[in-house]
Amino acid sequence: MSAKLIDGKAVAADVRREVAEQVGAMQQKYGRVPGLATVLVGEDPASQTYVRMKVRACEEVGMRSIRKVLPADSTQSEVEALVRDLNDDPEIHGVLVQLPLPGHLDEEAVLSSIDLTKDVDGFHPVNIGRLAMKGREPLFIPCTPHGILELLDRTGVQLEGARAVVVGRSNIVGLPVALLLMHRNATVTICHSRSRPLSAFTRQADILVAAIGRPEMITADMVKPGVVVIDVGVNRVDDPTRARGYRLVGDVAFEEVREVASAITPVPGGVGPMTIAMLLKNTLISALRSSPL
Ligand code: NDP
């Protein structure tokens, strides 16, 4: 039997609608709306696209957005000075530095210069540290992991007591999603490139999160019947039948795994749309802290 499709586009649209309603309420009550500043250093085309999508998403829910672009050869102090200016702007509730930064810049220092109360990407080391500690609350949860939890919750997946396996341990996806699942009382295993044999772990999963960056690596024989699969991967594979010459696939061999799983996210249209929706939600949360409804 084919798995239930977890429709990230539909869930993200719900989240955006809820955010837009609250933005409207804030405008009515205070005469102002949440503001997000994006900082892009250099001209990486993928980063430009991501920033454009974030700016457009802000506008669609009625938020204000400020877009700052610095040249690729900007110095550490120039980037940090811009972040500090944005930290001081009372109309800005979220400051987002688009990653990756050019290689000569110290990424951790730049992320640390973002005011904790405006760290809507949730990548400030203190926010990640709080996420890792028992009894501490981060001010913001990183957007992709937050979106994954939202998808699981809105699909009605039971987390408490479930055996969750996360493949990938990056700072932006694998590690924080594992921490979030643990906080929700799942029993979590984190796998990575040195986990041997990977399938021995993945086959135990009630919930499997694949955040690897390897096209269709998780195959049907690696999962147990009834598993809930969250596929975070976004990979380009050559496809001469498409006008652009490629198509996007996840880290999971979707067609075969859907025959074994009970629920699965597609790529595209699964986790991807949730990331920007949760960025909007984090920016709203930040603004509501200073102007509660
Ligand atoms: P990283 O490259 O930072 O991390 C990949 C992780 O996968 C690492 O922990 C690595 O292990 C592990 N890994 C690599 N190869 C294997 C293997 N053969 N077996 C087991 N584990 C392996 O990637 P990200 O976390 O940044 O992203 C992962 C994927 O998610 C990418 O496809 C990315 O495009 C996508 N993504 C999608 C987003 C969305 O909004 N939909 C947002 C962010 C990312 P090790 O640590 O040992 O090297």
152-168 core/surface letters (b: 16 or more CB in 10 A; e: else)? beebebebeebbbbbbb
Ligand 1 atom 39, closest CA = 272
Which residue type is seen at 229? Answer: V
What pLDDT does 290 receive? 87
pLDDT in tens, 117-162: 999 999 999 999 999 999 999 999 999 999 999 999 999 999 999 9
Note whether 195 and 252 are same-domain residues: yes
pLDDT in tens, 91-100: 999 999 999 9
Q: Residue 9's pLDDT band (boundaries 50, 70, 90)? A: very high
CATH of the domain at 48: 3.40.50.10860
| Ligand 1 atom, smallest distance to 195 CA | 20
194 lines ligand 1 (CB under 6 A): yes
Note whether 108 and 148 are same-domain residues: no
Task: Give the pTM.
Answer: 0.95
Which residue type is seen at 202? Answer: T
Question: Quick one: CA torsion of 67, 86, 117, 75, rounded to 10 degrees?
Answer: 90
Q: Are 190 and 139 within 8 A, CB to CB?
A: no
166 lines ligand 1 (CB under 6 A): no
Note whether 110 and 231 are same-domain residues: no
Residue 43 located in a structural domain: yes
What pLDDT does 189 receive? 98
Please, is 31 exposed, middle or buried when counting C-beta atoms within 10 Å of its C-beta (0-12, 13-18, 19+)?
exposed
pLDDT above 90: residue 107 = yes
Residue 71 located in a structural domain: yes
CA max distance for the chain: 57
Residue 109 located in a structural domain: yes
**Average pLDDT score, the chain:** 97
Q: How many domains does the chain have?
A: 2
Q: Are 230 and 250 within 8 A, CB to CB?
A: no
Q: 252 alpha carbon to ligand 1 midpoint, in Å?
A: 12
Note whether 163 and 251 are same-domain residues: yes
Separation between Cα atoms, residue 158 and residue 56, nearest integer Å:
34
For β-strands 246-249 and 235-238, DSSP reports them as: antiparallel
pLDDT in tens, 197-236: 999 999 999 999 999 999 999 999 999 999 999 999 999 9
pLDDT in tens, 23-77: 999 999 999 999 999 999 999 999 999 999 999 999 999 999 999 999 999 999 9
Residue 170 located in a structural domain: yes
Ligand 1 atom 31, closest CA = 213
- Got the DSSP string for 22-54? HHHHHHHHHS---EEEEEEES--HHHHHHHHHH
Q: Show which of 95, 115, 135 is a domain's final residue.
A: 115
Q: 214 alpha carbon to ligand 1 midpoint, in Å?
A: 8
Q: Is the dihedral of CA 270, 154, 14, 64 positive or negative?
A: negative
CATH of the domain at 225: 3.40.50.720
Residues forming the active site? 54, 98, 121
Write out the residue range of the structural domain in which residue 93 sits.
31-115
